[in-house]
Structure 1
Amino acid sequence: MMIRATVIIPTFRDWDGIQRCLDALALQTVSPSEFEIIVANNNRDDVVPDSLSLPPNARVVWESKPGSYAARNAALQVAQGDAVFFTDSDCIPEPDWIANGLDPLENHPDITRFGGAVKLFPAKKDWTTPELYDRVFNLRQERYVVHGYAATANLLVRRSVFEAVGPFNAELMSSGDKEWNQRAEKAGYPILYLPNMCVRHPARDSFAAHAKKRGRVAEGKFIMKNRDKLKSYVSPLKYIFPSVRNAYRICSEPNLVLFQRLALLEFDYRLRLHEAGVLFKLRYLGGPQGRRQ
């Protein structure tokens, strides 16, 4: 049977996460003969552990250049499916994930990109402040699609679009999905939000995890501004004051009690101060260093 779809999953030292993702993909309502899975290993010194249960329709490719977007590009080079699904090693696709992507792909031939829902879940029963912050601010795909992009945690693209606009920017450590989607949007390839094409994703559960992501995003913006020859300087003084926009979102978010809103406001301000430090280092102490392998 012809391979209709390719699922691409980059990984870096997360074989446990890959196994959970593969186990979820084994439960897909679409026959395994109709899709292939490509795990893009971004650790050049790593080997596939003997404990990994790799299904017959899956394989591993290696990419030594640091960065998940470089890894995704390596997988794209050998992808066979006309429909390319992207997700991450810490995501858990719902059983009808692929089916709910392929149906709209066939029924909407004019649409070339699809962003699916990402449902965050907490580590335990109650949501902690870091987890709530992730739920309020991150992976809001329905909002992203309005602005012409979707995160690669849950993105479906016709392979022909990559042939037209090129691969991901392999120099970026973060925001490469947004940068690529902006290129596709500018080239006239529309995007549609699919709430039923869903993956589950664990919410970030610590300040350190959020700070790491905020730093990567700041670095990605820094690189893109330099690439586009825009003014790359952002004064750290901007971050002395709390964000009015973020405060409004926190205060308008439903199903939160007062102490949760106050905790989120404090958490957001701490992240702003961290981002100020990252931008200061990027501007005055040298450019992005990339991920150490």
Structure 2
Amino acid sequence: MIARVVGNDYRSLTPPEPGAWTPSLRVSVVVPAYGGQDKLDLVLAGLAGQTYPEDLTEVIVVDNGSDPPLRLPELRPAGTRLVACPVPGRAHARNAGLRAATGDVVHWLDSDVVLDRQAVEAHMRWHHAAPYLVVTGRLRFTPAPLPTAREVAEAPDLAELFEPAEPHAWLVDLIERTSGLTDGRSRAFSLHVGGATSVNAALLAEAGPMDTDLVLGQDTEMGYRLAQAGAVFVPEPLARAFHLGPTMRMRDKAPIDRVSHAFVADRIPAYRWLRSHPARQWKVPYLEVVVESDGDPGYDEVRASVDAVLAGTVPDVAVTVPGPWEHAGVEGRAPLRDPHLDLTLILGHYAHEGRVRFTSSTPGQAGRPGESSWGAVPYRLRLPAGWTPGEDTLARLLDLATDGGYGLVSVLLAEDAERGLIVARLERTAAFARAAIVAADGEPLDDAVQDTFGTFWADGETYGFLREARTPAGRRGAYRARAEAQAEIARLTKEAERLRGQVTRWREEAGRWRRSAVELRREVGTLRKELAAARKVVQYGLLSSVKRAITRRR
């Protein structure tokens, strides 16, 4: 049974301890190189001294058009081959090495990175624990002067040759602030760097080769596709690797980011901050909505669903409509008597809408898990034709799925006596790809998704689904909504001014009452004094009268 990792929490795996196990998987170390024979010699000398069995290791050096051509030095692993790739570009060189690789695991290694003695073993112990891992070592950057190849081959500890060295600050920060990439909200695929990363070969076959159309950012883009193929990303501190000098990004980060971001934004939907434009389309959308029908799709039902999806507040969306489209648009047949008229109408209505595509099979059910004509889409909503989401429905569902980390959100739309439950399903591509890897024979994928990512049920009415066509607000609706909002703002502003005036009047009235109260207190005080004086006068007068009366009697 294949181990099931929840999210990216690889801590549930128990890899064997280095030096205390018997490996069985073969590893292909792919080293693309352009020039730099002196550094390549050190890299191969480091590989020659690895603790991982030599009979389970092959090294493929890809000469990417060096002049003079590269050569294999004397100090190298026994199973080392030199492959030529005249097409310039590291992605082309990597793909050439990938095609030549025969191992169970592919270990990318730059031609200026020297691995510590147990680095390959530290990587491979993880790959023996689960077949869907991406492991990256701990890169450190060492300055000149460089040692000789003989010194590298004979040193018991490469730290003696290369320390002090600087850590890969960006990777260290990523790992530390995400609890070693186990935080469910981390973009763990960013760990995939070509300098010292190993990948299960079958997982690579699912994700596909390096994207040769990219100028920069190929490693990160491949990491993203590996994530969609179900990968778990593991940082391995025991796999030390020494980079000979700084990287190009360390020297020129700002201009490199400028070039890289211009291209990866189209291909990595997870980098939301690169997609700040409110309306434009991208090569790989964030959400694909598959409008599904029982039998041939009906024009009115499909149009209701598609129009509602495209009118929502999630612009980064695409729509796929599966069906037998080969029957549509047959010439020479009376259109009103055409048994496949609805197919023709659907095709004709959306023929020039770039966000709508038509397939003969449902994405994710035929071919590789998560496969789509749109590329590696991270989320897919399966929506029964005729059901329509509200303007904010898709955004709310995506927030629910991402905040909870769920692999599946099932939305109960209705209950039918014949069909049973009618459900829309928001599926996370990575979750179903992982489920396809770990599921036992005959086990429903939903059960494996529950174990690895979790699932959630939601109420369709609560999230704004209706079984009726909606009138998209469109631009006029947006203008009307904006005018209504501005009118409401003006009304509230006027009301606020009225209330402020009333408060001012109340304050003035309260001031008058306070002044009246003070004057009243003063008058009361005066009256009290006068009353006291009167009492004294009266008392004195009575006393005098009594005294006079007594005197007369005497």
**Shift in Å at residue 162 of structure 1?**
1.4
Given that 2:30 and 2:59 are in contact with CA atoms closer than 8 Å, whether structure 1 keeps it comes out as yes
Structure 1 residues 50 and 25: alpha-carbon distance in aligned structure 2, compared to 1, 3 A threshold: closer
Q: Give the whole-Å Cα distance in 1 for the aligned partners of 2:212 and 2:240.
A: 26
Q: 2:175 aligns with which of 125, 129, 142?
A: 142
Name the residue aligned to 1:161.
203
Q: 2:123 aligns with which of 101, 118, 124?
A: 101
Structure 1 residues 211 and 99: alpha-carbon distance in aligned structure 2, compared to 1, 3 A threshold: closer
Q: 1:114 aligns with which of 110, 135, 142?
A: 135
Report the 3-state secondary structure (helix = DSSP H, G, I; strand = E; otherwise coil) of the residue aligned with 2:239. strand
Given that 2:45 and 2:76 are in contact with CA atoms closer than 8 Å, whether structure 1 keeps it comes out as no
Matched length: 224
Report the 3-state secondary structure (helix = DSSP H, G, I; strand = E; otherwise coil) of the residue aligned with 1:60. strand
Question: Bigger relative contact order, structure 1 or 2, given CA contacts below 8 A and separation 6+?
Answer: 1
Name the residue aligned to 1:202.
244
Report the 3-state secondary structure (helix = DSSP H, G, I; strand = E; otherwise coil) of the residue aligned with 1:223. helix
Work out whether 1:25 is the aligned partner of 2:56: no
Q: Give the whole-Å Cα distance in 1 for the aligned partners of 2:39 and 2:117.
A: 17
Given that 1:3 and 1:36 are in contact with CA atoms closer than 8 Å, whether structure 2 keeps it comes out as no
Equivalent AA in structure 2 for residue 123 of structure 1: A
Name the residue aligned to 2:31.
9
Name the residue aligned to 1:80.
102
The TM-score, its normalising length taken from structure 2, stands at 0.36
Q: Give the whole-Å Cα distance in 1 for the aligned partners of 2:81 and 2:42.
A: 15
Unaligned runs of at least 5 residues, structure 2? 1-22, 146-163, 182-186, 277-554
Work out whether 1:37 is the aligned partner of 2:59: yes
Given that 2:144 and 2:245 are in contact with CA atoms closer than 8 Å, whether structure 1 keeps it comes out as yes
Q: Give the whole-Å Cα distance in 1 for the aligned partners of 2:246 and 2:218.
A: 20
Equivalent AA in structure 2 for residue 16 of structure 1: D
Name the residue aligned to 1:71.
93
Report the 3-state secondary structure (helix = DSSP H, G, I; strand = E; otherwise coil) of the residue aligned with 1:66. coil
Q: Give the whole-Å Cα distance in 2 for the aligned partners of 1:195 and 1:90.
A: 19
Given that 1:7 and 1:38 are in contact with CA atoms closer than 8 Å, whether structure 2 keeps it comes out as yes
Structure 1 residues 110 and 210: alpha-carbon distance in aligned structure 2, compared to 1, 3 A threshold: closer
User: Pairwise CA RMSD of aligned residues?
Assistant: 3.4
Q: Give the whole-Å Cα distance in 1 for the aligned partners of 2:86 and 2:127.
A: 33
Name the residue aligned to 2:144.
123
Q: Deviations over 1:216-239 (max 9, x none)?
A: 4432222223567999899xxxxx
**Shift in Å at residue 202 of structure 1?**
3.0
Q: 1:223 aligns with which of 239, 263, 266?
A: 263
Equivalent AA in structure 2 for residue 185 of structure 1: A
> Structure 1 runs of 4+ off > 6 angstroms?
228-234
Q: Give the whole-Å Cα distance in 2 for the aligned partners of 1:111 and 1:139.
A: 21
Structure 1 residues 60 and 3: alpha-carbon distance in aligned structure 2, compared to 1, 3 A threshold: farther
Structure 1 residues 216 and 60: alpha-carbon distance in aligned structure 2, compared to 1, 3 A threshold: farther
Q: Give the whole-Å Cα distance in 2 for the aligned partners of 1:17 and 1:227.
A: 33
Structure 1 residues 148 and 63: alpha-carbon distance in aligned structure 2, compared to 1, 3 A threshold: same
Q: Give the whole-Å Cα distance in 2 for the aligned partners of 1:232 and 1:113.
A: 25
User: Sequence identity of aligned pairs in percent?
Assistant: 22
Q: Give the whole-Å Cα distance in 1 for the aligned partners of 2:135 and 2:175.
A: 11
Report the 3-state secondary structure (helix = DSSP H, G, I; strand = E; otherwise coil) of the residue aligned with 1:98. helix
Equivalent AA in structure 2 for residue 90 of structure 1: D
User: How is 1:168-187 mapped onto 2 (pairs within 5 angstroms)?
Assistant: 168-187=210-229
**Shift in Å at residue 82 of structure 1?**
0.4
Equivalent AA in structure 2 for residue 187 of structure 1: A
Structure 1 residues 46 and 122: alpha-carbon distance in aligned structure 2, compared to 1, 3 A threshold: closer
Q: Give the whole-Å Cα distance in 1 for the aligned partners of 2:267 and 2:123.
A: 33
The TM-score, its normalising length taken from structure 1, stands at 0.65
Structure 1 residues 65 and 200: alpha-carbon distance in aligned structure 2, compared to 1, 3 A threshold: same
Q: Give the whole-Å Cα distance in 1 for the aligned partners of 2:104 and 2:57.
A: 10
Equivalent AA in structure 2 for residue 119 of structure 1: R
Structure 1 residues 210 and 2: alpha-carbon distance in aligned structure 2, compared to 1, 3 A threshold: closer
Q: Deviations over 1:187-233 (max 9, x none)?
A: 3221111111221113429xx88445654443222222356799989
Unaligned runs of at least 5 residues, structure 1? 125-131, 235-293
Report the 3-state secondary structure (helix = DSSP H, G, I; strand = E; otherwise coil) of the residue aligned with 1:120. strand
